[in-house]
Amino acid sequence: MCALAVGTAYGVWVVSETHAHNGLPGPLPGSPPRAPTGVRRTTSLDLTRPDGPDGPIEVHGRARDVQTGAGGESEVIDRALLALTVTDGVVTALRCFPQRPAAARLIGRQALVGWRSALWRELNDDVETGSALHLLLDDLPGGMVVGGFTRRRALAASGAMVPQPGRRLDVCAGWAADSRAARVLADTGVPPPPVTPPAPELVPDDDPYAWHTLGALPVWGMSRRRRIDAHVDGDTIGVDAMFRDSYVDGAGHERVLHEYGVVAALELDGTVRSVAPAPRVLPHLECPVAGASAQRLVGMPCSDLRDRVSANLFGPSTCTHLNDLMRSLTDVPALVRRGG
């Protein structure tokens, strides 16, 4: 075990965790205190297969935005709920709150390819205003990608044949053509086991507004959870954000597959002034080198991040999960305006 200090926008936490094979410190317990006059957004997207590993995927999402007053008082300024079903890669049912009549037009669409373009066309007001509902819907493709991880493990636990996923090399740092993971796959026919430490609790006991209610995951359930803290300090918008992908293993223990944090500073007009990613849990040896790719976003306006991340952050020097975290910063200027 090793003790280390981890800096955030709100101070220093001391954590103790065993270093994984890529030298990362492991997941952080709890969440920082909410900053006075700041806004906190939390979201969760839970994916389960109640009918077994080859059945439809049930997706349940929750989100909440909380404004913190100068004296610590709390006001919920936005919230959202989402329930949808994905069958053979296609969204076959969808309900959401707040209700959006146009959301019905998302039924029948692929949950991966073209999904975010469909959101832009059908729910453009939510996209432009940075609503909590939009972030839940926007997270669906990323959730679907990581959801295959638990399906393969559920099949293995049942004694069934486990299909190995096709691997596109050079799509990210962990799966670069010359990465350890690629070499192991080439030599053995199976990818190396990822590092998945136990998941510490995210929700502190002393603040009921720190997070929205997080549902309990069943065995082989998976969840993508996000926290975005933003506050105005003089001529700067300070941001402390994180995400965690976790799952429940066959023994009923929650474990972390991915965890990233980022501390950023934005101009009041939303231009990215600085960004400092903090990888905490990533599955493969070379994954941490992708953190440097976020520096390409400095000088970009937040309003362009969703498009520019896709256009500029790809290939073996990047991380698709870090990219999703950076894309979520698009909504920060709207968040602080709404909470102002």
Tens digit of each residue's pLDDT, the chain (340 residues): 333 333 333 333 223 333 556 788 899 999 999 999 999 999 999 999 999 888 999 999 999 999 999 998 999 999 999 999 999 999 999 999 999 999 999 999 999 889 999 999 999 999 999 999 999 999 999 899 888 888 888 887 877 777 666 667 878 888 888 888 888 888 888 788 888 899 999 999 889 999 999 989 999 999 999 999 999 999 999 999 999 999 999 999 999 999 999 999 999 999 999 999 999 999 888 888 888 999 999 999 998 888 888 888 888 888 888 999 999 999 999 999 887 6
Q: Are 295 and 275 in contact (CB under 8 A)?
A: yes
User: Whole-angstrom Cα distance, residue 201 to residue 261?
Assistant: 16
> DSSP assignment of 144-169, as one string?
HHHHHHHHHHHHHHHT---PPPP--T
182 CB burial (10 A radius; 0-12, 13-18, 19+): buried
User: Whole-angstrom Cα distance, residue 115 to residue 103?
Assistant: 12
User: What per-residue confidence (pLDDT) applies to 320?
Assistant: 87
User: What per-residue confidence (pLDDT) applies to 20?
Assistant: 56
Report the candidate in 40, 71, 70, 96 with the shortest Cα–Cα distance to residue 338.
40
> What is the number of helices (H) and of strands (E) in the chain?
8, 10
93 forms bridges with which residues in the sheet? 85
The 3-state DSSP composition of the chain as helix, strand, coil percent (nearest 5) reads 30, 35, 40
Q: Are 132 and 80 in contact (CB under 8 A)?
A: yes
Kindly report the length of the chain.
Answer: 340
User: What per-residue confidence (pLDDT) applies to 192?
Assistant: 81
User: Whole-angstrom Cα distance, residue 210 to residue 202?
Assistant: 9
Report the run of H or E that residue 188 belongs to, with start and end: helix 180-188
User: What per-residue confidence (pLDDT) applies to 298?
Assistant: 94
Name the residue ranges covered by the structural domains of the chain. Answer: 2-161+171-339
User: Whole-angstrom Cα distance, residue 10 to residue 331?
Assistant: 21
User: What per-residue confidence (pLDDT) applies to 4?
Assistant: 34
Strand ranges across the sheet with 254-267: 90-97, 74-87, 57-68, 39-48, 222-233, 236-248, 254-267, 272-281
Which residue's structure tokens are 């990047």? 318
